[in-house]
Amino acid sequence: MSSKQYNIAIVGATGAVGKVMLEILAERKFPVRHLRLLASERSGGKKIMFGGLEVAVEPLTEKSFEGVDIALFSAGAERSRLFAPAAVKSGAVVIDNTSYFRMNPDVPLVVPEVNPEDIKKHHGIIANPNCSTIGMVLALNPIHQAAKINRVVVTTFQSVSGAGASAIQELKDQILAWARGEHLPPKKFAHPIAFNCIPQIDDFLENGYTKEEIKMVNETKKIIGDPSIQLTATCVRVPVFYAHSESVTIETERKLTAREAREILSKAPGVVMCDEPANKKYPMPIYVEGHDETFVGRIREDISHPSAITLWLVSDNLRKGAATNAVQIAEHLRR
């Protein structure tokens, strides 16, 4: 790996994902020569600690990327649309955590444990997949390689941190209000999130699916590289602060036993097995928070289908589902 140091910019540095990007850069000892923290004008002048030094947050402009080698974007699709081309024009490689470029055929959509070879195909922009997609494809890809997946049925149970810092605060505030016997009207979500499940993430489309659900469908096919995989998703917001959970049923061309599936997944990069139901050991958000792997358990043969398995997985959406995956892509760029 190169010993070169890099000038790094983080767009959306004061947001939930941007803050974790800084933590991951430090944890993984990424060779940062100069760090530029970019956000909206209202965040200008704020200072954030990195590497023992205070770094001032600067307003995001088209001229913000001069001298930048790698720009990590996590400030929303509209910011990526407006400013990613300016970053590329300035000579930076953009790793974009928003949905804006993901399905662009000229932009690689990458999970390094699954399709690292696609990084080489970039033309200045590399897309980071949806947080729920990343956790799921880490488990799907090794099964697809072993037995070819025909169809996937997934239901997600997504934490509020996937909707940003204001959503985290809304859940906290509603819990505290409930404890006081008060009612706090929702602002971030359409309905109260405390002690509730909301079966809608993003806007609904004409076919009755939400944009979040269709993201999982399209992104999975692109990352794994097989458009023949059929997938249906239901995405639900739940009153959990961090880490997304998913119930996944996988129909394969070649029948897999539960034992075979465990063997395959136990060797899969980025996957940790936690599958001892007799001892009440299975993945749960409170134990997966802070980790970078997808934790898999409850693996069983589907009693309703002759060639399907069902499993439960949990991954930290701010880390592997966003920041860690982006930094891993940056590490591959170093090579």
Residues classed as catalytic: 131, 244
Which residues, in sequence order, are CB contacts of 59 under 8 Å at separation 6+? Answer: 38, 39, 40, 41, 43, 44
* Phi and psi, residue 129, nearest 5°: -70, 175
Is-contact 149 143, C-beta < 8 A? yes
Question: Rg for the chain (alpha carbons), in Å?
Answer: 20
- Return the structure tokens found at 135: 């956790």
Which residues, in sequence order, are CB contacts of 280 under 8 Å at separation 6+? Answer: none
Q: Kindly report the length of the chain.
A: 335
- Return the structure tokens found at 239: 């009153």
- Which among 113, 164, 101, 162 is positioned nearest to 142, based on CA atoms? 113
Is-contact 34 297, C-beta < 8 A? no
3-state secondary structure of 230: strand
The Cα–Cα gap between 88 and 109 comes to: 17
The Cα–Cα gap between 3 and 36 comes to: 20
> Where in 258-301 does DSSP place strands (E)?
271-273, 294-301
- Which among 246, 239, 321 is positioned nearest to 20, based on CA atoms? 321
